[in-house]
Structures are given as C-alpha cells and as structure tokens.
Structure 1
C-alpha cells in the first residue's frame, strides 16, 4: 500500500520511502494496515468457527445458548449443536447428521443403532457403536460431555443405553513378529499414522454443559 500511496504523488515530489513524505506515508500506511486487519478480524469473527471470547458469546446469546464454563472450542460445539438439533427428526440418520454437524466431523465416524438391533433388548434406547474419538480429542470434549450432546438429538422418550468409545490402537497379534498398520499401531515420527486410544466414563467429574 505504501508504494501505491507514493505513486499517487506528482512527479515533482521525491517518491522515495526514505524521504520526509515517504516517512509520513509510512506512518499512514501502518495505520491503514492496522485498520484493515481489524476489519478483517471483525468479518471473520462473525463466523462461529473463527470467533473468540466475547464475539463468540454474542453469537451464542443470539441463539439462547450460553457458555457456562466451556472453553471457546467446546462453546463452538455447543453453538453448532444448538443449530444442528433443529434438523433432527428422531431418525437414526438425522441423529448422526446432527452430531456430525455439531462435532464438525464426517457422518461415517459415527454409528448409532437401536438397542434392539444391537441385541440388548432395551426399549426406546439407542446404542452408539462408533464415536468420533479424533474429533472429541481435538475439541477436548470428554466422554460424559459427548453423551450430553447425544441425549440432545434423540427423541424425548428415548435414552442412551451405551456408548462404545473403543480406540483403534492394538499391539501385534504375534509377540515375536512386528505387524505394520496405518491405523492400529504406534504413530510414526510425524504422527500422521497409527491408532488412537479409547476413552472411559468418569461419572460426576466433568463440568456439565448448559445444553
């Protein structure tokens, strides 16, 4: 922008950044750049995935979804969940779709079945056979808090019978021979491969989210 400002000067004036007028324009350029960055930040922070702090609070309050003690990352999930719950009609597919939008993950990372279908025989209950552990770990969402979101998308007369939080990590099936896998063993140096651990419930130790 500084060069553009200097080029606007008539040819009778020295168009050099080290000249007096150049130094003056440098100050103006810094101020204009700062204003431009602020405006860009304001535009970005209208978006749930980029807003932070008070700007994120304002988005949540417009939807009657309050933060409580949640971090920005978890609060974004709560806001997305508030929006996504409105599309859930109680069917398995709509529940999966709502959770995927809430956690910003692929629907294939979630599998929900009826408890009867899972062979557990509990009426009006669902079983989460596959949970998006990578997404939960990235967000910092605990197992209990994840169940809170699941309970929000199921029909009012239904319940969550069980949630499977098994990871993919495993050791070699042969104690004397190594086995190689892109998705089950130890990670490489770049941590782009390898399995991940599961999770466990710790009832009563989590902060309850206001959802």
Structure 2
C-alpha cells in the first residue's frame, strides 16, 4: 500500500498516525479505499487507450472522434481512429503526411517516399508503405482516401505503393477522384 505510506507522510506533525492507534486505523481505512479507487482509475485508463480497447469500447472511442467502424476489425479500426486523430492536426506538408502515416500505422517512415509526379507537379506518389497494415482492398482504399483528404488543397494523390516486405512484392493502389485501381508487380521489375 503505497498510498498508506504517502498518506502518513502527508499528515501534519501534530497528528502522528504512527504512534496514535486510532488515527492509524483511520488512515489505514482511508488508504485501503483510496488504493481501490486508484486501481479502478488505472484500469479505466488502460482500457480507454486505443491500443488496449476492443469491441464496444473501441466503437465508443471511434464515435467520440467521429470515425465509423464499417467492416473493419479491431486491429484496422485502431488504425482508422489513429489516422483520424492524426489528420485533425491539419499539417498538409510532406512531413505532415508522413506524420499521419507514422501515427496511424506505427511504422518507421524513413523508408516511405512522397514524390511529385513527373508530368504533373500538383500530384504526388507515396511509395513503400508496409502492406501488413492494409491487406484487404477495402483497407487500402481507406488509407488512400485518408491520405488524399489530408493532402493540401489542390494536391492530388496519384497512387500509393504498398510493399510486402515478406515477399518483396509491390502493390500499387492508384487513386483518382472516381475510382481505385489495384495492381501488383514484382519489386525487382
């Protein structure tokens, strides 16, 4: 009971809980219940963390930030919530896009490249996002739309290239305003 020791240490010198048995009983009584309350608050804090929440609690966190689950499982729904929170910061620079990817996927962004399209300076290509976070085409489309919505006004995300580090395969998710095109190619090709 760390609370008991802290409680006793905060008692004024005129009231000595160590030598007075009645005060000691009272302090022990309060410390026990404060310890229970502290444990309950730690448990609530643990489950309110996006990484630890699941099911209905994760849905409630998603509602709070304005993100609807759709057909996402808990793992990808965490990515959706984190990307929504990160996109609210409003940084629309290349570093801002990389920060959103880093915060939502929890990946190292040093290998991810954001490049301008050669023939069109108002379009960008994002390369080498790890594929393990978006295996399903719906998840890839979601990430494309999230990144498109965070790019600066007038800047179009031409395509996102996911890379499967386990097989060396590159999957290109090309985005336009009206459709999503998914193709696969060999990393070496």
Q: TM-score range by the shorter chain?
A: 0.5 to 0.7
Distance 2:181 2:74 in 1: 20
Greater share of strand: 2
CA contact (8 A) 2:124 2:159 kept: yes
Asked if residue 129 in structure 1 is aligned to residue 131 in structure 2, the reply is no
**For structure 1, which runs of at least 5 residues remain unmatched after alignment?**
1-36, 169-193, 207-211
In the other structure, the counterpart of 1:152 is 149
Aligned to 1:3: none
TM-score between the two structures when normalised by the length of structure 2: 0.61
Q: CA deviation at 1:113?
A: 1.5
> Within 1, Cα distance between the matches of 2:85 and 2:116?
24
| Structure 1 or 2: more helix by fraction | 2
Task: Provide the C-alpha distance between the structure 2 equivalents of 1:141 and 1:103, rounded to a whole number of angstroms.
Answer: 16
Work out the CA distance in 2 between the residues paired with 1:156 and 1:197. Answer: 32
Q: CA deviation at 1:67?
A: 1.4
TM-score by length of 1: 0.55
Query: Hey, what does 1:197 align to over in structure 2?
Result: 169
Aligned length: 141
RMSD of aligned residue pairs (Cα, Å): 3.3
| CA–CA separation in structure 1 for the residues paired with 2:54 and 2:137 | 16
Higher relative contact order (CA 8 A, sep 6+): 1
